[in-house]
A and B are shown apart, each in its own frame.
Chain A
Amino acid sequence: MDEPAELPVEGRGLTKHYGRIAAVDGIDLTVQPRDVYGFLGPNGAGKTTALRMLLGLLRPEAGTVRLFGRDPQHELPEALDGVAGFVETPHFYPYLTGRKNLELLAAFDGGGAARRVAALLDLVELTERADDKVGGYSQGMRQRLGIAASLLRDPKLLILDEPTNGLDPGGIRDMRDLITRLAAEGMTILLSSHLLAEVEELCTRVAIIRSGRIVYEGALAELRASAAPRYRLRATDRDLAHAVCLRSPGLREVALHGEEIVFTAEEHAVAALSRSLVEAGLGIVALVPETATLESLFFELTESAGEPVTAAA
C-alpha cells in the first residue's frame, strides 16, 4: 500500500511576538499537494512573519512547522529540499550581474541548479539584461529574477510573498500566467497577498489572517457558499416595495440603497416576495441574486470583530 504523501506545509500553533505585540498568534496552516494556496490578510496581519517561520528564517516561540514532514527549525538545510521562494522583495547583490547572482545561488543550491540558469533567465525574459548589474534593475526585473532564483531549486513547493509587487500591468499578467502554468505542472504554491483579485484568480484554497490569527482556512468555494444569499430589488414604486419587503417573512437585513432595496434571504422567501410584490400591484424591474465577492467576505472577516490590531509583518 502507498504511504500517504507528506503535506507540503503543516504549521501548528505558530506563535511569534515582537515585544508585546503578537505578530502571529497560534496559527495553523495546512497546504495540500498541488494546492495554490492564498495567504491573505491586510498589511501587518502577520503573513510575512508566518512565511519566515516556514522558511526557517524565524524561530517560533511556540508551535511546529513541517515541510514535507521535515522541520525547518531543526533540519536545515534538508528541510528546504524541494522548497523555494522568497519573503518580501527578493534581494540580490547589486554589484553582480543578474546571471552571476543566479550562478551564486545555483552554487549554493548544488545539484543541477547551475545548468538551469540560462533557461530560467529566458523564462523570466531577462536574457537580454542578464549581464547587466542588478543595481540597475527595476523592481519588476528583480521580482522576475526572484522567481528565476526560486525555480533554480526545481521546487515541489514554491512560497511567494506578494509576487506581483512592483510589477507593471503587463508584468502582473505574465507573473499570474507563470504561476498558473507552474500550478498546472503540479507544483504546490503558497502565495501571500493582500490583493483580493489576485487570490481570487489564482488560488483554490485560502487562509485569511487578521491580527496574527487565522480567521478562515479552507476552499474559496466553501467560503463563498458560507455567506448568506443576498439580493437586489428594483420595483416600480420603491417605497411601497420596501414596505412589502419589511413585512415579508424570511427577509433579513432589508435596506434601501438608492433606487434599490437590498436584503438577504433564502430562495423560497424570495419566491414568496415576488408573489407579494405582484399582489401589491408592483412591477418588478429587477430581482438579482448577488454572489458574495471575496472582497466583501474578506472585509467581513478582517474587520467584523472591531478595529484590527496592527501587528508586525
Chain B
Amino acid sequence: MRPTTLTAYRWELRKLLSQKRTYIGIGASALLPVLFVVVMALQKGGPYDAPLGHNLRQTGIVLALVVLTFASRFGAQLVTALVAGDVVATEDSGGTLKMILTRSLTRRQILAGKTLATFTYVLALLAALLSTGLVSGLIAWGFNPVIDLSHVRLSAVHALGLTVGALALFAVPLIAIAAFGIFLSALTHNSAAAIVGTLVYELVQEATAGLVHLSFFKHYLLSDQFDGWHGLFQSPIYWTPVVRALWVSAIFAAVPLAIAFAIFRRRDVAGE
C-alpha cells in the first residue's frame, strides 16, 4: 500500500516531538501566564490598557487572552516563524530532503504533511497558553463572572466558552503567518532567511497598520485580524471583525501556500 499525506503528517509530528526546540517554544508559551500572575501579584492594580484586563484580580478565566495582548502576540508570531521558516529549509541544508524525495510519497504529500504539522504546532502553542492560563488564573483569582467589553456581566461558564473561541480565532491569523514562513522556507532553502523574512513580514504588517489612517484598509491587513476576537466579547457579539478575521486570514494563508506548493513541486534539489 502506498503511503499517504497522513503518513507524512504523522512522521513530521514525531520529528517535532524529537526536537528540544519544540518543547522550548511550547514551554515558553506555557510559562508566560504563570509569570504574568507572579508579576501581577507583585504590583497593585491594572492592567488597565488591555482588553478585558480590568477583569483580572476578580476572575482568572480570561488570563490567557490578556497575556496574549501583552506579551505573547509577538512572542507567538516569533515561535511560529522559527518553526515554519525552518520546516523545509532545514531539510534542504541538512541533506535529508534528497532522502525523502526519492521514496514513495509525492512532493505535494510531503509538503502537505509539513504544513499540517506546522499548523498543529501553532495550535499546540495556544493550547499550552490556554491550559496554564486557566490553571494559574483560576488558582490566583478564581472561576468568577467576567465583565465584557460592552460592560455586560457574563457568567463564568459563558466567558470560558468565549475564551476558548477567542484563542481559536487568534490561531487563524497565526496560521497565516505560518503559511508565509513555509512559503519562504520552500523559496529560499535557507532557514535563517525564511525566519527573518517571516518576522519582517509581520513587522511590516504591523507598521503598515500603524501608518495607515484609512481604517478601511487597515482592517484588511493580517495584523488587524489578531484583534478579531474582541468581537466575541461584545454584547451582543459583534460578528463583523470575527468573520473578517476568518476570511482575511484565509486569503493570507492560501496565497503563499499555493505558491509554496507550486515551487516545491517543480524545484531542483541540488545542494547539500
Interface residues of A (CB under 8 A from B): 52, 55-59, 76-77, 80-81, 83-96, 100, 104-105, 107-111, 149, 153
Contact = CB atoms under 8 A, between A and B. Distances in A.
Interface of B: 1-3, 7-8, 10-11, 14-15, 18-19, 94-96, 98-107, 266, 268-270, 272
Contacts of B101: 56-57
Scoring B1, B18, B103 by chain A CB atoms within 10 A of each residue's CB, the highest score goes to B103
Given A93-B96, A95-B19, A110 B1 contact: yes
Nearest to A80: B102
The prevalent SS among residues of A at the interface is: loop
B102 A55 contact: yes
Nearest to B113: A108
Nearest to B20: A95
B269 A52 contact: yes
Nearest to A49: B270
Contacts of A96: 15, 18
Contacts of B98: 55, 57, 86-88, 91
A83 B101 CA distance: 12
B99 A90 contact: yes
Contact of B268 (A57, A100, A153): A57
Given A59-B268, A110-B2, A111-B1, A92 B96 contact: yes
Contacts of B14: 100, 104
7 closest residue pairs by CB, A with B? A91-B95, A108-B103, A57-B269, A110-B3, A77-B104, A58-B268, A110-B2
A108 B272 contact: no
Nearest to A104: B11
Contacts of B1: 110-111
Contacts of B106: 76-77
A89 B266 CA distance: 23
B198 to A, nearest CB: 23
Contacts of B102: 55-57, 80, 83-86
Contacts of A108: 3, 7-8, 11, 100, 103-105
B7 A58 contact: no
B99 A110 contact: no
A109 B103 contact: yes
Contacts of A83: 102
Nearest to A149: B99
A107 B105 CA distance: 10
A105 B268 contact: no
A96 B11 CA distance: 11
